[in-house]
Structure 1
Amino acid sequence: MATSRAVLLLLFLGSCGGVRLFHRGRPRGGMVGVPAVNWEHELPPDQWIEQQLDHFNDADARTWKQRYFVNATFYKPGGPVFIQIGGEGTADPIWMVTGQWIKNAEIYNAICFQVEHRFYGKSHPTPDMSVDNLRYLNSEQALADLAHFREYMGRKMNLTNAKWITFGGSYPGSLSAWFRLKYPHLVHAAVATSAPMFALLNFKDYLSVVRDALDTTATGTMCNKLIGVAVDAVSQAIKTDQGKKMMKEKFRLCDNLDGASPNDIANLFSTLAGNFEGVVQYNKDNRAFEGAVGTNITIDTLCGLMAAQRADPLTGFSMVNSLILDTYKQPCLDFSYKNMIKELQLTDWNSSAAEGGRQWTYQTCTEFGWYQSSDLTDQPFGHMFPVSFSVQQCKDIFGDKFTQALNVQGINRTNTNYGGYGIKVSRILFPNGSIDPWHALGITKDLTPDARAIFIKGTAHCANMYPDSPSDSPQLVAARMAIRKQIGQWLQS
């Protein structure tokens, strides 16, 4: 491990090929990114634990190696155990030395573990990511991995009688809550940050939060109105040869729009909406990603560009697109549906799809849905990427049996299994940010006095997990203090 490491978060890393920078609510690399921090010391090394491939079939003796990290710097005998749960991306050891959970570990003398999710990062349970092998990728198997990890590590390190507390953000936040639900004898308490708790096929309200977030900028409702005008202009432009040529130049398209399929057009509109969705989801969250022009990209940045071109909203819309392309070093906008599907069909661990895009798409197609469609009436991004567009992707990537009926079957099972909004749990905190579109599927009001929501005005996805920043809002600071206080109370109970 290198002894000097300066980490600057980029939501999306490297060349993205045919896959969109923001796909199904997930930035390339995962929904909880690397905090912006300079670290000049050794990071914890990779460690490995043997896991059963199928925890629910005792006749299947196959095993695999799961990666995890340990930080015992602050631990004192009798102290608690903190686990950060990995999710739909590579587990990064930088989280073992920074973030709010590490700050709390120092305060409460906890030993810290981070466990990488099966099928992500270096944790490869199967030789490849074929559809037949991906059947071992689901939340229940992931929870069983955590249960085995907790039992094994408890015995190995004499921590069986310690109080174990789980932490997770986004999908791992859901896992944190579900782990407490399914294995309450193993988990004393849980923090479930920005956790979607209700599986849903058509997550059309994602765009309602995006719309409302854009309204909070200095431009007010003007931003959404200008976006709506620009989207209408795009809709008209793609109807003529001259308009298609203009679109290719203005929006830096990788290919001509001539001969574009309906799925290409849907992908184009979805990608242009994604330019705003990604920034809203992570607005001012202290991941500190820098634009190519040297400025932090926030919703104020995007709406400022739109307002500056109020006489020509299409130009403002294209400037937002160029800013995103330049920020993530993309030479052009690849709207090709065929290219996207082709990349997500790759099954080799050395392929570009292995960064997590294929795996996460599979989980949405089989367990969660959560398709951010354009089916909501009152939003400015048009209606060119309906929920059927996402369902079609499941079939085209994984096979004809992955129909909407199969989607719905899996979604219903998830809600039946975990309880959805009606989850019955104790000793859990559910922090959510008002700017984060995922809060629409989260717990934002107390379930009981012992299963409480912390709704943080003005903050985005997983913002409470990141290191302190001088720009943190009073609401965010107060939320972090409330979480810290609750952890202390849990450890006394």
Structure 2
Amino acid sequence: MKLHWLSIGLLAALSQDAGAFQVKRETTTPRDKLQYGVHYFDQKINHFPDDELFSQSNLSYGTFKQRYYFDSSYYKPGGPVYFIGGVILENRYYGASYPFKTSTTDELLFLTTNQTIADNAHFAQNAVFPGVNGSLTAPNTPWIVYGGSLAGAQTAASIKVYGDILYGGIASSAPIKVNVGYPEWYNPIQKYAPQDCVARINKIVDNFDLLVAKNHTKAIKQFKAFFGLESLTDHRDFAAAIADPIGNPGFYHLNTWQELNWNSSYGSRDFFYFCGNVSDIDAPEEHTQVDYILANYTNGEPWTGLGNYANYVKRHTLPLCSSGDYNSNECWGTQNATAWASIENSSSRSYLYTSCIEQGAYISAPKEGPSLLSRVVDTDYEQQWCRWAFPPGKYNTVPDTPDVDAYNDFGAFNFTADRLAFIDGDQDVWNDLCYHSNFAPARTSTDLHPELLITGAGHHWDSYGILNVEAEPQFIREAHKWEVKTVKKWLRDFDQWKVSKKLG
């Protein structure tokens, strides 16, 4: 079967994500200039009307308008359909097309992994694409699903549960095994970031935690003032704020290690700029003097790099709070329960809900060993947001702690399905939840169950491509070639698969 396809993406802009899979276009319009029209599909609100959990709600029936975009410029009759998702997937998970615009706890009842992967299968079986002749519905047409990050996990679950409908999938940086807390988020930074910077931050965190443990209130207040954050009376809010350039629980403002990318069109070097400032050995005296102010609390040992660190936060982090009220919810203060209870329909609220009910993976400080985040931050810091944001409804109540077993029941580290490929990056902050986690068993790749770990790569770096694949960095280039080969192998067996399924 020739490699011609129709690409469908439930995302805001897919024009670059498939850049590695280039064939000759039928148009001369540059890819980055293409405009895709928006289309709508009548998606079911509830795919499980017989499930008691969902059927009790009076919101259980009907449909909503699910938004999608498609690119048919590569398509020729007989070709497969590539179903492309991403971390901004416009489905019920991220709220862009979620049917209920107030997002009360009851309405969020239908915001689950099972409902979302059922969306994918139902769409593949029923979607009609304007201007494309003939039926492209699954399973008579091979649908290949791709997703990165959370959409990668949804891809994996879609193929496992609906493998008789969706022919194959590539799950990139897909979190398949979650825990309530996830201190391992910092492990790649601890290991791979510039070590002079890491060592300085580790020591500063240790020293701050010592002040907290000994209740040195005057010194704590002075330490917060160095960063211009004395208004943050909750130590956890303060710890999260100064970790913003690294990455912190909740929603950080700066570009962090996770936002690094091999493709400069998408990535940011902010993290390395931050680290370069913290470890600057030629810093002005006004910065280095700060390192000695609290030395009497550490037996005369200076807090090396503190002045540089604090100056960076004041210059580059604090201005991101436009109101100047650092203790507000839109900045770094998280203790306003009323603000959390606001029912605005936004991607952050949808993501928080799914974390609260089944995904967990709350970023927290490690209980032992060096840390880039103060140890005052534990899992309850984020769990309290769940209690405030989602008060009990008539039909739906958020659990006291995420039901991670429901999420892990898809397979966790033993996740497998025919024609499901896993691809990860070894420097991804989320990798220890993924197929190639350091806690997972040894992996062996086969044609039906392929896997690849990209050396030196971060969070779903294979999602990004350029038109000239040969010009990509070598490990990204070879990952893209591997993905193409993998799918081509699957497609060669599609007709035999159809016969085995007794499809027309």
Q: Does TM, scored on the shorter chain, surpass 0.5? A: yes
Q: Distance in 1 between matches of 2:344 and 2:383?
A: 24
Does residue 1:338 correspond to 2:335, yes or no? yes
Relative to structure 2, which stretch is displaced further, 470-479 or 120-129?
470-479
Matches within 5 A, 1:75-114: 75-87=75-87, 89=88, 91=89
Cross-structure match for 1:306? 278
Deviates more, 1:128-137 or 1:475-484: 475-484
1:158-197 aligned at under 5 Å gives the runs 158-160=135-137, 161-197=140-176
Residue 24 of structure 2: aligned partner: none
Aligned residues of 1:345 and 1:358 also touching (Cα < 8 A) = no
Distance 1:327 1:247, change over 3 A: closer
- Which structure has more strand as a fraction of its residues? 1
**Identity, % of aligned pairs?**
22
Partner residue, 2:404: 411
Query: CA–CA distance in 2 between the matches of 1:283 and 1:179?
Result: 28
User: Residues 163 and 479 of structure 1: is their aligned pair in 2 closer, same or farther, counting only changes over 3 Å?
Assistant: same
Q: Which residue of 2 aligns with 1:21?
A: none
1:424 aligned onto 2:444: no
C-alpha contact (below 8 Å) 1:128/1:347 kept by paired residues: yes
Name the aligned partner's letter for residue 180 of structure 1. I
Which sits farther off after the overlay, 480-489 or 469-478? 469-478
* Aligned residue in 1 for 2:227: 251
- Of residues 380-389 and 119-128 in structure 1, the stretch that sits farther from structure 2 once superposed is 119-128
1:266 aligned residue: 236
Shift, 1:242, TM fit: 6.7
* 1:80–1:319 Cα change, 3 Å: farther
Question: Aligned pair 1:389/2:381, yes or no?
Answer: yes
Q: Does 1:371 align with 2:362?
A: yes
Larger Rg: 2
Residue among 192, 209, 223 paired with 1:213: 192
For the structure 1 residues 283 and 244, does the alpha-carbon distance in structure 2 shift closer, same or farther, using more than 3 Å as the test? same
Structure 1 287/194 Cα, relative in aligned 2: closer, same or farther at 3 Å?
farther
Query: In the alignment, which residue of structure 1 is the partner of 2:115?
Result: 141
- Structure 1 segment 451-462 matched on structure 2, within 5 A: 451-462=449-460
Report how far residue 300 of structure 1 moved. Answer: 3.2
CA contact (8 A) 2:173 2:423 kept: yes
How far apart, CA to CA, are the structure 1 residues paired with 2:342 and 2:16? 26
**Amino acid in structure 2 at the alignment position of 1:388:** D
User: What is the rounded CA distance, in whole Å, between the counterparts of 2:482 and 2:492 in structure 1?
Assistant: 16
Counterpart AA for 1:132: D
Q: Displacement of 1:369 after TM fit?
A: 0.7
Change (3 A) 1:74 1:64: same
Letter in 2 for 1:61: Y
Contact conserved, 1:180 with 1:189, CA < 8 A, in 2?
yes
- 3-state SS in 2 of match to 1:483: helix
Question: Could you say what secondary structure the match of 2:183 adopts?
Answer: coil
How many residues are matched? 413
Q: Which runs of 5+ in 1 are unaligned?
A: 1-28, 92-115, 291-295
* Residues 443, 230 of structure 1: alpha-carbon distance in 2 compared, 3 angstrom cutoff: same
Deviation of 1:223 (Å): 2.0
**Change beyond 3 A, Cα 1:64–1:383:** same
Is the CA contact (8 Å cut-off) linking 2:445 and 2:451 kept in structure 1? no
- Structure 2: tracts of 5 or more residues without a match: 1-10, 20-29, 248-254, 289-303, 437-441, 494-504
Distance in 1, matches of 2:175 and 2:487, equals 22
Q: Identify the residue that residue 43 of structure 1 maps to in structure 2.
A: 35
Q: Which amino acid in 2 is paired with 1:467?
A: G
Deviations 1:29-75 (A, max 9, x none): 99x9987x996645112111111211101674322111111110110
Contact conserved, 2:423 with 2:453, CA < 8 A, in 1? Answer: yes
Residue 40 (structure 2) pairs with residue 64 (structure 1) = no
Quote the RMSD (CA, aligned, Å): 3.4
Q: Which residue type is aligned with residue 487 of structure 2?
A: I
User: Which residue of structure 2 aligns with residue 466 of structure 1?
Assistant: 464
- Given that residues 234 and 247 in structure 1 are in contact (C-alpha distance below 8 angstroms), is that contact kept between their aligned partners in structure 2? no
* CA–CA separation in structure 2 for the residues paired with 1:287 and 1:473: 12
For residues 177-200 of structure 1, what are the alpha-carbon distances to aligned partners after superposition, in whole Å with 9 as ceiling and x for unaligned? 111000001111111001000121
- What is the CA distance between 1:427 and its match in structure 2? 1.2
